Structure 1
Amino acid sequence: MSILELRKVWGNRPLVAAAIGVLLQDETGRVLLQRRGDDGLWGEPGGALEPGEDFLTGARRELLEETGLVCPDLALLPLPDGLQSGPELFHLYPNGHEIYIVGMRASGTLPASALEHAQPDDSGETLELRWFALDELPPLSNNANRQSLNVLRSRAGLPPLPLEPVPPAPPVGNYLMDLRKLVGPRPLFAPGANVLVTDEQNRLLLLRHGGTGKWTVPGGSLEPGESFEDCARRELFEETGLRAETLEPLQMFAGPRYRFTYPHGDVVDNVSVLYRAQGISGELTPQDGEVLEVGWFGADELPDDEELSGRLIQDNLRVWKGGQSP
């Protein structure tokens, strides 16, 4: 379901918005910003993903809608610079809607002259487009834009822009289940994180999930105000009793390939960051009810694809196998 559809049943309360930001620079390093129609402030082109959409497709669509431009070399920024999530990415719209932005950033280059051919759509989202030097930025709309521009400023050797204060994040609850009570089984974005945990023999920890009966890795959906990494840490501890000293982001998984239908009919569009855990501590304690069984598997001992909990987990394991020494 789209954000606008969810608002009809959720009201103004915070939603987690899977979104993409687009950072375009010209030949002198200036960044393209739009003056927004809702608050009159400036920000990068971008917006929420459509159901079933991947981030790069969303980036191209949002760029075309908000500027009328096409960028041939547009690509997702590598992790971790490409990720956006966390409590500081709270945004209150002028109409009272509250969101936490999670997702990715894309970047590309266009000549300064491309702006002469810009044609934003007639939605009113874009009031003006202009190139800005990274050390001469206008008033920005929210922290998502400040963080994105800080990625570029860091690369240019400039100090970071300070972030605006935000309200405390809500306590961890069951955000996705609460939405389900209002929308039924219709597709919902499920931003979250999964974790690869290995033992001294370089065997991978898998869990048999109580809801599907299939094998999966530790992980789950994030709560409003949570970062991808915080979600990974919380889910790892809840499902296994283990803690990780460090979590290395490996890859983002999103798009139509990762739509998943649960046995009871609920549909989710997974938007999931895969982490590699290092420095594991604690005693392996499977979560009652949610985890039916645990197992340690070598690269040549993994369950068959049909025994795994969907394409997301299948591809998570392929990333792990691809990183093993021959």
Structure 2
Amino acid sequence: MSILELRKLWGNQPLIAAAVGVLIQDETGRVLLQRRGDDGLWGEPGGALEPGEDFLTGARRELLEETGLVCPDLALMPLPDGLQSGPELFHRYPNGHEIYIVGMRAQGTLPASALLDAQPDDSGETLELRWFALDDLPPLSNNANRQSLSVLRARVGLPPLPLEPTPPPPPVGNYLMELRKLVGARPLFAPGANVLVTDAQNRLLLLRHGGTGKWTVPGGSLEPSESFEDCARRELLEETGLTAETLEPLDMFCGPEYRFMYLHGDVVDNVSVLYRAEGVTGRLTLQDGEVLEVGWFEVDELPEDEELSGTLIQDNLKVWKRGQDI
């Protein structure tokens, strides 16, 4: 379901919005910003993904809708700079709708003259478009824009922009389950994180999931205000009793190929960051009900694809296997 459809059922209370920001720079390093129609302040083009959409497709669509421009070299930022998530990315729109933005940043270049051909759509989202130097920015709309522009500023030695204060994070509950009570089995974005854990023999930890009976890696879905890394740490501890000294983001998985239907019919569009755990400590302990068994697997002993819990987990394991070939 789109975020607008969810609003009709959920009201103003916080939603997790899988979204993409688009950072376009000209030949002098200036950044393209839009003056927004909702609050009159400035920000990067971008917005929420459509159901089943991947981040790069969403970035191209949002750029075209909000500026009328096409950027041939548009690409997703490498991790970790490309990731957006965390409690500071809370935003309350003028109409009262509240969100926590999670997702990716895209980047590209266009000549300054491209702005002569800019033609935003008639939605009213864009009041004005202009190039700005990174050391001379206008009043910005929200912390997502401040963080994105701070990424660009860091590359040229400028300090980060100060963030606006945000409300205390809500208590961890079961966000997706609460949404399900309202939307039924219809597809929902499920931003989250998975974790690769290996032992001293470089064997990979897999869990047999109680809901599917198939093998997966530790992981799960974000709660409102969580960062992808916070989610990875929480799910690792809940499902295995283990903690990691560091978590390295390896890849983001998002798009129609990562739609998953559970045995009871609920459908999710996974938006998942894969982490590699280092410095793992603790006693391996199964989560009652959710994890049936655990196993440590050599690279040539991994379960067959049909024994794994969907395309997302299959592709997570491909990332790990590629790392063993280096």
* TM over 0.5, shorter chain: yes
Partners of 1:181 and 1:209 in 2: CA distance: 23
Q: CA RMSD in A?
A: 0.5
Aligned-pair distance for 1:44? 0.1
- Counterpart of 1:136 in 2: which secondary structure? coil
- Corresponding residue for residue 95 of structure 1: 95
1:69 equivalent to 2:69? Answer: yes
Cα displacement string for residues 285-305 of structure 1 (whole angstroms, at most 9, x for unaligned residues): 010000001000000000000
Give the ranges of 4+ consecutive aligned residues of structure 1 lying more than 3 Å apart after TM superposition: none
| TM-score with structure 2 setting the length | 1.00
- Corresponding residue for residue 52 of structure 1: 52
Partners of 2:169 and 2:89 in 1: CA distance: 10
Cα displacement string for residues 16-36 of structure 1 (whole angstroms, at most 9, x for unaligned residues): 000000000000000000000
Code of the residue aligned with 1:173 in structure 2: it is G
Aligned-pair distance for 1:189? 0.1
> Equivalences for 1:18-37 in 2 at 5 Å?
18-37=18-37
> Equivalences for 1:112-261 in 2 at 5 Å?
112-261=112-261
Cα displacement string for residues 69-101 of structure 1 (whole angstroms, at most 9, x for unaligned residues): 000000000000000000000000000000000
Partners of 2:155 and 2:87 in 1: CA distance: 24
Code of the residue aligned with 1:6 in structure 2: it is L
Partners of 1:293 and 1:185 in 2: CA distance: 28
Cα displacement string for residues 124-177 of structure 1 (whole angstroms, at most 9, x for unaligned residues): 000000000000000000000000000000001101100000001101000000
Sequence identity of aligned pairs in percent? Answer: 88
- Counterpart of 2:288 in 1: which secondary structure? coil
Aligned-pair distance for 1:325? 4.0
Code of the residue aligned with 1:167 in structure 2: it is P
Partners of 1:83 and 1:318 in 2: CA distance: 21
1:300 equivalent to 2:300? Answer: yes
- Corresponding residue for residue 109 of structure 2: 109
Partners of 2:21 and 2:160 in 1: CA distance: 18
Code of the residue aligned with 1:211 in structure 2: it is G
Partners of 2:11 and 2:144 in 1: CA distance: 22
Unaligned runs of 5+ in 1: none
- Counterpart of 2:23 in 1: which secondary structure? strand
- Corresponding residue for residue 315 of structure 1: 315
- Counterpart of 1:193 in 2: which secondary structure? strand
1:288 equivalent to 2:288? Answer: yes
- Corresponding residue for residue 38 of structure 1: 38
- Counterpart of 1:280 in 2: which secondary structure? strand
Partners of 2:244 and 2:296 in 1: CA distance: 17
- Corresponding residue for residue 14 of structure 2: 14
